[in-house]
Amino acid sequence: MDEMEEELKCPVCGSFFREPIILPCSHNICQACARNILVQTPDAESPQSSRASGSGVSDYDYLDLDKMSLYSEADSGYGSYGGFVSAPTTPCQKSPNGVRVFPPSVPQPPAQQHLLLQPGSLPPIPRNSCITCPQCHRSLILDERGLRGFAKNRVLEGVVDRYQQSKAAALKCQLCEKSPKEATVMCEQCDVFYCDPCRLRCHPPRGPLAKHRLVPPAQGRISRRTSPRKTSTCTEHELENLSMYCVQCKMPVCYQCLEEGKHGTHEVKALGAMWKLHKGQLSQALTGLSDRATEAKEFLVQLRNMVQHIQPVSVVLQENGVEFEACLVAQCDALIEALNRRKAQLLSRVNKEHEHKLKVVRDQISHCTVKLRQTTGLMEYCLEVIKENDPSGFLQISDALIRRVHMTEGQWGKGTLTPRMNSDFDLTLDSGPLLQTIHQLDFVQMKVPAAPMLQLEECCTQNNSATLSWKQPPLSTIALDGYILELDDGNMGPFREVYVGTETICTVDGLHFNSTYKARVKAFNGSGVGQYSKTLIMQTSETGLPPCDIQSIGEVAWFTFDPASAHQDIILSNDNLTVSCNSYDDRVVMGNSAFSRGVHYWEMTVDRYDNHPDPAFGVARGDVLKDVMLGKDDKAWAMYVDNNRSWFMHNNSHTNRTDGGICKGATIGILLDFSRGILIFLINDEQQGPVAFEALEGVYYPAISLNRNVQITLHTGLPIPDFYTAGEADPTDSVC
């Protein structure tokens, strides 16, 4: 519990809290310290008088001016309270924990007033008194109740009391005759502390005493001190008990507060229910913070191990690089006096690098240790707060504690528990330069890159495409020029390069369906090519026909419409196989699979056809416009058709008008042949017009555009039509 001690000390006096009060900013301060840092504002310049005189300065303006003055003069050691023309400027002091504290500038009362004060009584708080939080520097004006308007933090007071009791001297046995020994147990029924000899002699575990409950001394001391829960009273109505909780104001209230109307329109809940709810929220928040603290402890162990690894240069050379030292000395001895001077420069550089590494790691250890101590202290403090039996007192501070716990957990964010420095010295001496270039001798990188790591969670296959992602190993500092991705042929054949470049993610299209591929990646730089990553085995989508049929008619793909890329007016149903639209304008939707190789055929049936619209069918690039008819831009190749005729369209160019339209129940077929680079359309199993488009290559998605007068259903996994395989296809062409 030692880490919790800072949470229990006043930011002004640096001692344990005594009669702490809660400021509106949720920070705590001793009541006596609060009285000491009060500042009296002149009546003529107070916010109340400013409002009364119509100056237009609001409370927020006043507080902002005050806050700005504190920050602007904090470094000089003096603080003035902005917004007051005649406010005195007084030197500030520092509390033991480093927080600046402004002493009171309240004028001393006249002599005759001192004579009227009772001995030991505190002077009344002057009107227009202002208090500034010593932690967040927020300022506020006290009302007529003065410091009595701030709630007392009884929970914090109880935690401080338990902490101080735990630090007290060990409890002694109450039955030892001469020098009392340290007590080992306490009997809750007898209310007596026993050492082991006295317990065996005076409290044997038999007879009526066998039913008595023996507890550890510390627990017994707490049970002695524990009293029934105190009933909290309202700060507004001191005779009323706090029994409800205002959700909007986030504070306990009494029935009189509700009757007076201040909280009459607010949502109010039972005090006990909110107490349990906030305790649960704080416990849940502590779970995440506890995980962060555990990671921080493990991280500190890792950093300390790095310090042991980063030894002085001579030790590093002896323990980790005897061969490196021998090679370095031999080369330097062979290069006469000039090389000896250069050797000294290089060793000096290594020493600076060593010092830099040690400094960075030690700074990170120091920073992480302080943060872990603060985190542990906050956790212990919160656990002690949860033990309190005072609902209203707990609810007064629970919101602030929950925010602090979440904020502290956020500070252990991504990157906090990652070493900032690598412990290895990746330096290799190159002895190739000639003697006349001795003064240009320097360390160069002579290591090849490490093997990349495949990120399995981001690698996937879809239909006949595969996406692979990889990264460099953690803490790898070796420079690289790029990566080489290799795949086999899907039939246990040799690997071949499919990508060379600097990207760390790659999608390979045009693979065979129902095939198993092996993938691996390696990195390269000027020194050579590194080792391969682990081999990843991937399976492409299955085909709709047996493997023997693939050789003759090509691969068959199954796909649906893609809701992610569709226009927002598109309506999908039937497992994304049926599409309609709620707009009178044409809207585009694409399939969820792309094609770049082979022969593919799919059909669409017209489920509803009203008012003779002209839907468009075809293929498109991934970045096609979604709010115009398919084929209006240069990203789509389509056939649009009404009830009488059809046209082919690409880049808003209309060609090949053909008689023959569609109606309800009609079937539109689309045949895409990459082996010949052509696109053909069919209506009711008959080819519509000539070959629609030629010289197609690249990646294409099935696509359609329609409005609210049409509903279409997609059919995939279909064989190539007989007329194409028997009549138009060139026997020498491969359709696989």
Who has greater pLDDT, 202 or 168? 202
Phi, psi of 277 (to 5 degrees): -60, -50
Q: Is the pLDDT of residue 695 over 80?
A: yes
pLDDT score at 111: 42
Q: Identity (one letter) of the amino acid at 70?
A: L
List pLDDT tens digits, range 373-401: 989 998 988 988 888 888 888 888 888 88
Q: Quote the tokens at residue 634.
A: 């240069």
Q: How many degrees, rounded to 5, is the angle at CA 620 between CA 618 and CA 625?
A: 115
Helix ranges restricted to H, 104-153: 111-116
Superfamily for domain range 570-715: SPRY domain (2.60.120.920)
Give the span between the Cα atoms of 96 and 33, in whole angstroms. 13
pLDDT score at 605: 96
The CATH number for 453-540, chosen from 2.60.40.1730, 2.60.40.10, 3.30.110.30, 3.40.50.970, is: 2.60.40.10
Q: Is the pLDDT of residue 81 over 50?
A: no
* Contact predicate 164/16, CB 8 Å: yes
Q: Which of 187-191, 413-417, 597-601 has the lowest mean pLDDT?
A: 413-417
pLDDT score at 61: 40
Give the span between the Cα atoms of 640 and 578, in whole angstroms. 19
Chain centre distance of CA 48? 45
Q: Identity (one letter) of the amino acid at 479?
A: A
Crossing angle of helices 271-309 and 336-386, rounded to 10°: 160
Q: Is the pLDDT of residue 679 over 60?
A: yes
Q: Is the pLDDT of residue 101 over 60?
A: no
pLDDT score at 696: 92
Q: How confident is the model at residue 550 (pLDDT cuts 50, 70, 90)?
A: very low
Q: Quote the tokens at residue 25.
A: 């900013």
Q: Which of 138-152, 480-494, 618-632 has the lowest mean pLDDT?
A: 138-152
Query: If we measure between CA atoms, which residue out of 687, 678, 689 comes closest to residue 721?
Result: 687
Identify which of 91-105, 113-127, 433-447, 641-655 has the greatest average pLDDT.
Answer: 641-655
Strand partners, 482: 524
* CATH 3.40.50.10070 describes domain 1-40+125-169: no
Instruction: Give the H or E element holding residue 409.
Output: helix 391-411
SS3 665: coil
- Please state which architecture CATH assigns to domain 231-266: 2-Layer Sandwich (3.30)
Q: Is the pLDDT of residue 316 over 80?
A: no
* Contact predicate 459/469, CB 8 Å: yes
Q: Is the pLDDT of residue 647 over 70?
A: yes
- Whole-angstrom CA distances from 28 to 15, 473, 605 are 13, 47, 73
Who has greater pLDDT, 77 or 700? 700
Give the span between the Cα atoms of 13 and 591, in whole angstroms. 70
Q: How many degrees, rounded to 5, is the angle at CA 139 between CA 137 and CA 143?
A: 150
Phi, psi of 220 (to 5 degrees): -65, -40
Q: How confident is the model at residue 315 (pLDDT cuts 50, 70, 90)?
A: low
pLDDT score at 391: 87
Query: If we measure between CA atoms, which residue out of 452, 542, 462 comes closest to residue 507?
Result: 462
Q: Identity (one letter) of the amino acid at 706?
A: L
- Whole-angstrom CA distances from 15 to 8, 19, 158, 377, 478 are 8, 12, 15, 16, 52
pLDDT score at 527: 85
Q: Which of 47-61, 100-114, 564-578, 651-665 has the lowest mean pLDDT?
A: 47-61
Q: Is 429 left (phi over 0), alpha (psi -120 to 50) or beta?
A: beta
Find all residues with CB under 8 Å of 81, minimum gap 6, and list them: 39, 41, 66, 69, 70, 87, 130, 139
Q: How many degrees, rounded to 5, is the angle at CA 72 between CA 69 and CA 75?
A: 125
Q: How many degrees, rounded to 5, is the angle at CA 126 between CA 120 and CA 132?
A: 100
- Whole-angstrom CA distances from 433 to 341, 372, 443, 444, 479 are 16, 51, 12, 12, 22
Find all residues with CB under 8 Å of 210, minimum gap 6, and list them: none
Residue extents of the structural domains in the chain: 1-40+125-169, 177-221, 231-266, 279-401, 453-540, 570-715
SS3 350: helix
Helix ranges restricted to H, 246-335: 255-259, 271-309, 313-320, 322-333
Find all residues with CB under 8 Å of 593, minimum gap 6, and list them: 462, 463, 465, 557, 559, 701, 702
Q: Is the pLDDT of residue 548 over 70?
A: no
Q: Is the pLDDT of residue 225 over 70?
A: no
Q: How confident is the model at residue 436 (pLDDT cuts 50, 70, 90)?
A: low
Instruction: Give the H or E element holding residue 426.
Output: none
Who has greater pLDDT, 351 or 471? 471
Q: Quote the tokens at residue 595.
A: 């094609």
Q: Is 656 left (phi over 0), alpha (psi -120 to 50) or beta?
A: left
Query: If we measure between CA atoms, which residue out of 469, 480, 704 comes closest to residue 578?
Result: 704
The pLDDT mean for the chain works out to 78
What does the radius of gyration of the chain's CA atoms come to, in whole angstroms?
A: 40
Phi, psi of 167 (to 5 degrees): -85, -5
Find all residues with CB under 8 Å of 433, minimum gap 6, and list them: 440, 441
Query: If we measure between CA atoms, which residue out of 387, 412, 437 comes closest to residue 162?
Result: 387
* Contact predicate 590/703, CB 8 Å: yes
pTM of the full predicted structure?
Answer: 0.34
pLDDT score at 230: 54
